[in-house]
Amino acid sequence: MPALRSIHRTLPVAVATIATVAIAVLALARPEAPAPASAPPSADAAMRAWTESVLHGMPLEQKVGQLLVATVWGKSADEAHPTNRLRYGVDTPAQVIQRYQVGGAIYFNNSGTDNVDSPAQLAAFSNGLQRAAKGVAPHLPLVISIDQEGGNVTRVEAPATEYPSSMAVGASRSAADARTLAAVSGRELRAMGVNQNFAPVADVNSNPLNPVIAARSFSARPDLVSALVAAEVRGYQAGGRSSETVSSSAKHFPGHGDAATDSHTGLPVITRTAEQWRAIDLPPFAAAIEAGIDSIMTAHIQFPSLDPTGVPATVSKPIMTGLLREELGYQGVIVTDSLGMQGVREMFGDAEIPVLALEAGVDQLLMPPDLNLAKESVLAAVRSGRLTEQRIDESVRRILTLKWKRGILTRPYVDERAVPARVGTPAHKEAIQNLTDHTVTVLRNDANTLPLASAPGKVLVAGVGDTVTPANSPNALAASIRARGSTATALPTGLKPTEATIAQAVTAAQDTDLVVLLTNNLSTNTAQRTLLTRLLETGKPVVAVAAQVPYDAGFVDAPTWVATYSWRAVSLESLTKVLFGEIAPQGKLPVDVPLGSDPSTIQYPFDHGLTW
């Protein structure tokens, strides 16, 4: 009974307080049992009593550890990995958790950490990390996080259910679909032991040349983004028992949608006025707060009209406290974007950033590049009086509250045997396929190529996709076409096709009845433009598919343009249905598509989309 032990350590305590905490502990032990109608305290009061009792019993070092969300290397809690030794001085993820007493950990599948192999493996990994945390403090299980947005930001792939991008959902205009997607994603993540998803993206992608947000955003219109963000928050966090939901996190405050620089590699400067910010970027975050969002992630951006000092928003007190806490009234968890990104390291060193972030009003420190340095810097700031322990308590209190609300405290472990019955189920995949069928957008059909009058004899499918997972590439689309009776050949040409690859594709096109080309970001990948132009010159019917960002359609004058907003297999299956006339295209552009790089000339306007 950790709460009662903490009471013992903090005597004297009033008898009434002891009774309240005791009831809180009983509530914690039986979270699903309804309290007697006449028995105070309320659930909120029980939560507060438990939080205070635990907080008062924690030493400072443990409190600071709760603020840290660590990157770990390997696929299991007990796997020795040389990078853990290099970065942390220990060998295994479990030892990282125990040495630094961290409050959270985050999984990646493509950043070198190599955490994700399969749903079953991830569930076992999560249980192992929770056991490690229990060995340090039985009453403080971990927040285990991931970025599972859908589309190109997908950490757990098949056999788990995969999802279209947020912009694809924006094309459907359906809040119901957004909520369904989040509910399915949340249930599957929780079955794998993940209890915090850094989604949805609440950025309004108002800059068509944004190099980092793009199709991760629902739309360029604040009202549409707001509606879909609120729907996803409710999908992740509402319905069922708290132990079957996940914390969602709206990102990236105060708004990354107008950035022209990738904050992973530089420090973007947003030149909007404060009035423009309130009209464009603010509404989705306000909607997320209204929907009860558990956490909000910061942006490593300069926003001079909101903070004229020019410091990144992550470490800006006027933005994090003045706007988010005081003006918007947000009292949940604020989490930094990765502290290893250049956007926040451009101006400050790794020892200073965690302290500045806490001074600004942040709670969780995500992925400090030097975990020991981050922890020691915060401890030193408290000991010197720069930070007060009361300030640390504020953040720990919010993190403990999040853990209570999501049922992490009572059910940190998952049933590994149940993973196949809960993750990637036929019902989940059918639900996501159905909503993805609402997203395909036909932008241009001047040659009346679509829908195909009959199954073409030979089809060449070329272009981009996931080079690691063949299921999300031209291979998947070719397989889907073959299932309709055509002979289809896949020729993945990659992001930057060489002249030899272009020549190979042109030669292959000569012997086909139809070419389908998947494109990805023609604004910067000029070799893909050359490939599409050369294929059009063959005289064969060519269906150009913007398989990541719809803005591609403004860069090459192809007579047939379709936008899927994603190259995930689920999106490519919906594309095939549209090609063959099995379904009518229903998607409407959630953004304006300009002519090339000129935002003043709109080639395809918001809400444009052909059907039949």
With H, G, I as helix, E, B as strand and everything else as coil, classify residue 235.
helix
The 10 Å CB-count burial string (b at 16+, else e) for 13-32 is beeeebebbbbbbebbeebe
> What tokens does 287 get?
């909607």
- Find the catalytic residue in 91, 262, 264, 513: 264
CA angle 293, 162, 487 (to 5 degrees): 155
> What tokens does 598 get?
């000129």
Helix extents (H) in 334-490: 342-345, 353-360, 371-384, 389-405, 419-422, 426-436, 474-482
Neighbours of 422 (CB within 10 A): 18
Half-sphere exposure of 49 (CA within 13 A, CB side): 24
Neighbours of 483 (CB within 10 A): 12
Q: Is 281 a catalytic residue?
A: no
Half-sphere exposure of 266 (CA within 13 A, CB side): 9
CA 11 to chain centre: 44
Instruction: Tell how strand 593-595 and strand 598-604 pair up.
Output: antiparallel
Residue 293 DSSP one-character state: -
Q: Is 81 a catalytic residue?
A: no
Q: Give me the DSSP letters along 352-387.
A: THHHHHHHHT--BEE--SSHHHHHHHHHHHHHHTSS
C-alpha–C-alpha distance, residues 429 and 437, integer Å: 12
> What tokens does 337 get?
């974007």
Q: In sequence order, which residues have a C-beta less than 8 Å from that of residue 559 and are 6 or more positions away?
A: 444, 445, 446, 447, 449, 542
**What sign has the CA pseudo-torsion 382, 387, 388, 393?**
negative
C-alpha–C-alpha distance, residues 540 and 9, integer Å: 80
C-alpha–C-alpha distance, residues 384 and 370, integer Å: 21
CA 128 to chain centre: 24
C-alpha–C-alpha distance, residues 21 and 582, integer Å: 60
- Find the catalytic residue in 337, 437, 466, 552: 337
Neighbours of 134 (CB within 10 A): 16
With H, G, I as helix, E, B as strand and everything else as coil, classify residue 481.
helix
Q: Which residues are catalytic?
A: 264, 337
